[in-house]
A and B are shown apart, each in its own frame.
Chain A
């Protein structure tokens, strides 16, 4: 799976989880995560990302973890906090990738 596919999948899952979440604060946190993710995705579209780097691998791995956490949260909303934490880690690593690509 490519980085673009992972980013798109994570964004779709975050959006689905935001819509499924029951509390407003949770919706807002998930929306904020989504906006951060979309921001780095936009920057990565404009940048020429070097694929063969440890940062690229680390970001891809963390997106995979975020995907599993988001899937679990979509099944059981009690897992939302874990999904938010995992996604935040992935976005942090993506931000590092953006800095390297700039």
Chain B
């Protein structure tokens, strides 16, 4: 009898915990904020991770054209300003943002332990690889452990608790990642985009000299016109980076602040959450236009 009472007691406790767990899951607004931000972080992170190597490739092509027409680019340093080590650290930062977004989405939508574990592992590994990261390795691992510990009967509550811990703890890193992207996307920011604009202006100037003098050796004018086309494509990319790219990154930062406040039950701007979705769509449209699709 005593054993039965004890069993019933445990059952009641489990039922109660389960009910409390479900009740303590994310609110609709918190889910919406986390999903919007997650989607935005995945889009911006993946855009940047693709764009930085593309900028390097385009810069090499522009410099190659410039050398071919007898311009000022250095044939010994065709990837000037875009050396692999410069690009690799930026791609790592972009992947970290993408992994954060994927983790948020997984925490809201997934229930499979494997999916949670995969998202958590990727998040921890990428967060640790960012130059200038804000937390110690052990702290990222502790955040990852929170996600990996999710399971059992109170999944929704544990997912909510994990988000409540991860978003504030990682906020300084997200701000840092956004600041890096804002600098690198700014054609006047003395960072990567300004380097890219420099390569573009050099080719523009040298090609103009060739066309004005009808010089550049055999086939010079034709190569110079090809260079002008590269310059036009490069300017279009810079315009997207400096315009919609930067606007989306700024919106992302604000949405992260809003999610942080929402998870603390503090006042936050729902407009900031909605704005990021609009910006992401606008950036995606510009990227499609650049790709000609």
Q: Which residues of A contact B (CB under 8 A)?
A: 2-5, 7-9, 11-12, 15, 18-19, 24, 27-28, 31, 34-35, 38, 41-42, 44-46, 49
Q: Which residues of A are found within 8 Å of B205, using beta-carbon distances? A: 15, 18, 31, 34-35
Q: Who on chain B is nearest to A4 by CB? A: B190
| Nearest CB on A from B79, distance (A) | 12
Chain B interface, DSSP helix/strand/loop, else mixed: helix
A45 near B195 with CB under 8 A, answer yes
Q: Which residues of B are found within 8 Å of A31, using beta-carbon distances? A: 205-206, 208-209
B209 near A42 with CB under 8 A, answer no
| Nearest CB on A from B139, distance (A) | 27
In the complex, A9→B188 CA distance in Å?
8
In the assembled complex, 21 residue pairs joining A and B whose CB atoms fall closer than 8 Å, in A order, are A4-B190, A7-B190, A8-B187, A8-B188, A9-B188, A11-B201, A15-B204, A15-B208, A18-B208, A27-B212, A31-B205, A31-B206, A31-B208, A35-B202, A35-B205, A38-B198, A38-B201, A41-B194, A42-B80, A44-B190, A45-B194
Chain A interface, DSSP helix/strand/loop, else mixed: helix
Q: Who on chain B is nearest to A12 by CB? A: B201
| Nearest CB on A from B219, distance (A) | 21
In the complex, A27→B80 CA distance in Å?
25
| Nearest CB on B from A102, distance (A) | 15
A19 near B208 with CB under 8 A, answer yes
In the complex, A36→B194 CA distance in Å?
15
In the complex, A15→B204 CA distance in Å?
8
Top 4 nearest A-B pairs (CB, nearest first) are A4-B190, A8-B188, A5-B188, A38-B198
In the complex, A1→B197 CA distance in Å?
18
Give the contacting residue for A42; candidates B189, B195, B204, B213; CB below 8 A.
B195
Residues 137-190 of B at the A interface (beta carbon under 8 Å): 186-190
In the complex, A78→B202 CA distance in Å?
25
Is B81 close to A, CB under 8 A?
yes
In the complex, A36→B197 CA distance in Å?
15
B208 near A34 with CB under 8 A, answer no
| Nearest CB on B from A43, distance (A) | 10
Give the contacting residue for A45; candidates B81, B206, B208; CB below 8 A.
B81
In the complex, A9→B208 CA distance in Å?
19
In the complex, A2→B186 CA distance in Å?
12
Q: Who on chain B is nearest to A23 by CB? A: B212
Q: Which residues of A are found within 8 Å of B194, using beta-carbon distances? A: 4, 7-8, 41, 45
A15 near B201 with CB under 8 A, answer yes
A24 near B81 with CB under 8 A, answer no
B72 near A35 with CB under 8 A, answer yes
| Nearest CB on A from B51, distance (A) | 17
| Nearest CB on A from B184, distance (A) | 11
B 107-128 to A, binary, CB cutoff 8 A, 1 in contact else 0: 0000000000000000000000
Contacts A11-B198, A45-B81; A4 near B186 (Cβ below 8 A):
yes
Q: Who on chain A is nearest to B204 by CB? A: A15
| Nearest CB on A from B256, distance (A) | 25
